[in-house]
A = this chain, B = another copy of it.
Amino acid sequence: MLRLTQHRQSILDLINASNRHWDADEVSRALSDAGQAVGIATVYRGLAALEAAGLLDSIQLADKKRYERADKAHHDHMICTECGHIEEFIHETIEALQLSAAKERGFVLTGHQLTMFGRCKSCDKQE
C-alpha cells in the first residue's frame, strides 16, 4: 500500500541516520539544506505514512509531534524542561505493570506514552 517514493525515502533516511526526535519543520529544513527540498505538506504526509507503515515512531508533545527511528526497542522519554534534552529509557517492569493495570479494567491496550519532565543532570548542576 505504501509507496516508498524518493521523497519518503529521503525523510526516512534522514531520520534513520540520527538519534533525534524530529518535528516536521526540522525535517523540512534539513532536507532543504541537503538540496532535496520537499514541500511541507509532503513532509507531513510522508511522516504520517511512514509511521502508519511502522517505519517511524513518534511522540506527541504539548505543542507538536516528533518523529524518530522505529528500529529501536520500545522506550519512553524523560524531557528536560530547561534545555530540551530528551533522554530515553526502557523499563520492562513499568511496561508489564501497565499491561496488567489495563487488563484489570478490561481495557485492551493499543498504545501508551509515558513522558517524564524535569531537569537533566547538567541543567540541575548549574542551579
| Contact in complex: A109, B113 (CB < 8 Å) | no
Oligomeric state, in copies: 2
Q: Is the interface of A mostly helix, strand, loop or mixed?
A: strand
Contact of A97 among B62, B94, B121 (CB under 8 A): B94
| Contact in complex: B124, A108 (CB < 8 Å) | yes
A: interface residue count bin: 20 to 34
Contact of A62 among B60, B114, B119 (CB under 8 A): B60
Q: A91-B97, A105-B89, A121-B105 in contact; A113/B111 too (CB < 8 A)?
A: no
Contact of A119 among B89, B94, B108 (CB under 8 A): B108
Query: Which residues of B have CB within 8 Å of A80?
Result: 107
